[in-house]
Structure 1
Amino acid sequence: MKRILVPYDFSKVSEHALDFACQIADKADSEIMLLNVIEHPTADSFKTLGMQNVDPMEQIYIKKMYETVQAKLADVVTAAKYSDDKITTKIQLGNPFNTIIDQIIEEKMSLLVVGTEGAEGLNEFFAGSNAEKIVRKATCPVITIQNKCELEPIEKIVFASDFQHTDDDFVSQMKDMQKTFDAQLNIVKINTPASFTSTRHDTKQMEEFVKKYSISNYTIDIYNYKNEEDGIIFYAEDVKADMIALGTHQRKGVGHFLSGSIAEDVVNHSQFPVWTTHLKD
């Protein structure tokens, strides 16, 4: 986990993401890049930067916006609480979603940590719908965060799956993440009326999964609920988990381990940090 990308727009959720990324970086000896994306200017974007009464159609002010953002990012990285962290900054002009996805590849990022307002958030970039798109398209693992989160209390990570398919690369990355956090993996099958299977069947599947991948420090559970996405979140609440780990399918936004766009729904509604990464087609 050498390089961590943190999209940063000076909002509280992006600050939470940076704080959490710094904790990971301290433990994994990683570098952090703060990325700010300047969109084509609007009246609202000028107000956010503290610039009033500016005609957003005037391209000359893009330079002024760049200089303003550059100064504000410099204030962030020189703040006392980040003094021991290796943080660089980058400013790009363009569409935030596309730019973030491109920068993951261009900068060879190992992890993306992004703040999100969730499904009920404001109509801004870090609203849930945009976080959902990032989770679907990012080519590296993603951790989405809605609230301030500390690394050290992360002791339980919920991993939900239907266990019908396995992905060696995915499991390897999940085990690395578990090792970084030194956490217990709570492995769970969400049993729903639409896809009911017996306890004996599910227990056997999970035991075979654990044996195949030499999983350690884990528990196995079956949780009954009417749908998978709410079942995952409610199970995490019931076991007092600290994080949720899920796989997603890049091409369709559909998990091989889970049916439907469940990972994206969980990202939108979970108050827990959610770690996601892609499964092979």
Structure 2
Amino acid sequence: MISVFVPFDFSQTAHYALNFATGLAGNYPKISITVFHVIEVPVASGMSTMGGGLDPMPDFENQIFFMELIETRKKQLRELEETYHNSNFEFSTKLILGNVFKGISEAIQEAKPDLVVMGSKGASGLEEVIIGSNTEKIVRTAPCPVITIKGETQVQDMKKVVFASDFRDSDDEVAARIKRIQSVFDAQFYFVVINTPGNFETTRDSMARIRTFVQKHKFDNIKAEIYNSLTEESGIIEFAEDIDADLIAMTTHGRTGLLHLITGSIAEDVVNHSKRPVWTFKTK
């Protein structure tokens, strides 16, 4: 049984993600989908009367609104369950109160799904520099693969998949993940190395690494490509646009704290800025 986890905020992009997740049922013989919604607990704008922090729901009107919101969300989740009651896959919903990022992260850690599918609007400008998007943070920390969806995406229409890497680390787990993606989509796979001015190398050297990776792990139906661009992030997005790819697959190092602020993450940047779905998985 393949378990798929869909963080859901009732936005349009969340519905796109859910549609994609349910579409996977045609590719997996047995699949269970869990829709997970987090309601943020409102807090007061001032300090608490005891000086210890923020007061949750300081006035009666806010409490009434909050309780009504909970009941509305429960009803909407029940309606989703009814919609997919007779589907050829297992479907369930879950509702919790708390911080969105923390709630989703803890639910993923507890449920240990095989895949997370979530909608994303991305983040840009000051928001991206300071906090990033919730999706970006889930991509960074989730122990399982994450697919980010930004528009209506049909699983059966996945015909071109880009796997961007430097292919320097011939990791068995990475190869297994890519083969798993190959088993899901009947698509042409493009293995691409992005050549940048600050990290230039010859096409011969890049192609040799791709061939070594392909041969070692016995990949089939692969096209090897070298693409020149100013940065790795822009090169991956531009290459995917040039070939009209349906999905970008990447690894992320999952660094947090100061190390993440210093080094950043190409995968998370691509998740934020690509209009295409991005499949990311954290490497050790």
TM-score in same-fold range (> 0.5) = yes
The secondary structure found in structure 2 opposite 1:109 is coil
Instruction: Determine the structure 2 residue equivalent to 1:50.
Output: none
Q: Distance in 1 between matches of 2:132 and 2:23?
A: 24
Per the alignment, residue 123 of structure 2 pairs with 119
CA distance in structure 2 between the partners assigned to 1:178 and 1:278 by the alignment: 18
Give the letter for the 1:33 counterpart.
T
Instruction: Give the conservation status (yes or no) of the 8 Å contact 1:101–1:139.
Output: no
Q: Which amino acid aligns with 1:223?
A: Y
Match of 2:90 in 1: 86
Partner of 2:16: 16
- Note the C-alpha offset of 1:170: 2.1
Moved more, 64-73 or 194-203: 64-73
Q: Residue 35 of structure 2 contacts residue 92 of structure 2 at CA under 8 Å; is this kept in 1?
A: yes
Q: Which of 221, 224, 233 is equivalent to 2:237?
A: 233
Q: Distance in 2 between matches of 1:102 and 1:168?
A: 28
Write the letter of the residue equivalent to 1:55.
E
Partner of residue 30, structure 1: 31
The residue that corresponds to 1:96 in the other structure is 100
1:37 deviates by 0.4
Q: Is the 8 A contact 2:194 2:229 kept in 1?
A: yes
How high is the sequence identity, in percent, across the aligned residues?
44
Q: Which residue of 2 aligns with 1:155?
A: 159
Question: Residues 84 and 91 of structure 2 are in contact (CA less than 8 Å); yes or no, is this contact kept in structure 1?
Answer: no
Contact 1:170/1:278 (<8 A) preserved:
no
The 2-side partners of 1:113 and 1:266 are apart by 16
Q: TM-score, normalised by structure 2?
A: 0.85
Q: Which runs of 5+ in 2 are unaligned?
A: 45-58, 258-262
Q: 1:111 to 1:192 in 2, by over 3 A?
A: same
Q: Which amino acid counterpart does residue 26 of structure 1 have in structure 2? A: G
Provide Cα deviations, 1:105-160, integer angstroms capped at 9, x if missing partner.
21121100000012259x8xxx9621111100011100001111011110111011
Matched, 1:6 2:6: yes
CA distance in 2: counterparts of 1:148 and 1:120, whole angstroms:
21
1:261 lines up with 2:262 in the alignment: no
Quick check: 2:113–2:144 contact (8 Å CA) kept in 1? yes
The residue type paired with residue 242 of structure 2 is: D
Equivalent in the alignment of 2:175: 171
TM-score, scaled relative to structure 1:
0.86
- 1:18 partner letter: L
Aligned partners of 2:15 and 2:150: how far apart in 1? 10
Does residue 107 in structure 1 map to residue 108 in structure 2?
no
Superposition deviation, residue 251 in structure 1: 2.8
Shift of 1:27: 1.8
Say if 2:27 and 2:184, in contact at 8 Å, map to a contact too.
Answer: yes
What is the CA RMSD across the aligned residues, in angstroms?
A: 2.4
Q: How many residues were matched structurally?
A: 260
Letter matched to residue 163 of structure 2: F
1:146 aligns with one of 139, 143, 150? 150
Matches within 5 A, 1:145-224: 145-224=149-228
Q: Secondary structure at the match of 2:133?
A: helix
What amino acid is the match of 2:150? Q
Shift of 1:96: 1.1
User: Structure 1: any 5+ residue segments left out of the alignment?
Assistant: 44-52, 254-258
Provide, for residues 199-223 of structure 1, a one-character-per-residue CA deviation record: whole Å limited to 9, x for no partner. 1111111100101111111100000
Residue 240 of structure 2 aligns to a residue in which SS? Answer: helix
Greater Rg by CA: 2
The answer to whether structure 1 residue 132 and structure 2 residue 136 are counterparts is yes
Q: CA deviation at 1:55?
A: 2.4
Tell me which residue corresponds to 2:260: none
For the residues of structure 2 that align with 1:38 and 1:227, how far apart are their CA atoms?
38
